[in-house]
A and B are shown apart, each in its own frame.
Chain A
Amino acid sequence: MTEERRSTLRQRLFAVLVAGIGGAAASAVSFAMAVYEAANPEPLRVVAAGEPVDTGRWVVAVRTARVGPVPPSGVEPPEPKTFVMVEFDLDNRSAASSYASTNLFTVDPPVSDLPEPTVYLARDGWIASPLNPDMPERLIAAWEWPRTQPPPRALRLLIGSQIYKRRDNLYGASGWFDRDPVAAVELPVSQGAAEAAR
Chain B
Amino acid sequence: MNGRIGGVAAVLLTAAILYGMQRTTPLYSEITSPVPVRGMQGERVDTSAFAVGIAAVHLARTVTVEAFGQDRRYATSGVWVIVEAAAEAKRESLSLASADWLGPDGVRYRASQRFSIMPGMPGTERLEPGIPRPMLMAFEVPESQLAGATLLIARSAYTPLLEEAWIEMAGVEPENIRQSITLGRGNRLLPWTLEAE
Contact = CB atoms under 8 A, between A and B. Distances in A.
B28 A173 contact: yes
Contacts of A174: 27, 29
Given A167-B28, A173-B29, A134 B107 contact: yes
A135 B29 contact: no
B110 interface: yes
Interface string B61-82: 0000000000011111110000
Interface stretch (A124-132, A151-159, A190-198): A124-132
Interface in B41-77: 72-77
Contacts of B75: 123-124
Given A124-B72, A135-B77, A135-B142, 6 more contacts: A95-B106, A124-B74, A132-B140, A132-B142, A133-B108, A137-B77
B30 to A, nearest CB: 8
B78 to A, nearest CB: 5
Contact of B110 (A97, A137, A172, A173): A97
B114 interface: yes
A166 interface: yes
Interface of A: 95-97, 123-124, 126, 129-130, 132-137, 166-167, 171-175
Secondary structure dominating the interface of B: loop
Nearest to B110: A97
B113 interface: yes
Given A123-B75, A132-B78, A132-B140, A95 B108 contact: yes
B140 A135 contact: yes
A134 B142 contact: yes
Nearest to A97: B110
A133 B29 contact: no
A129 B114 contact: yes
Contacts of B109: 97, 132-133
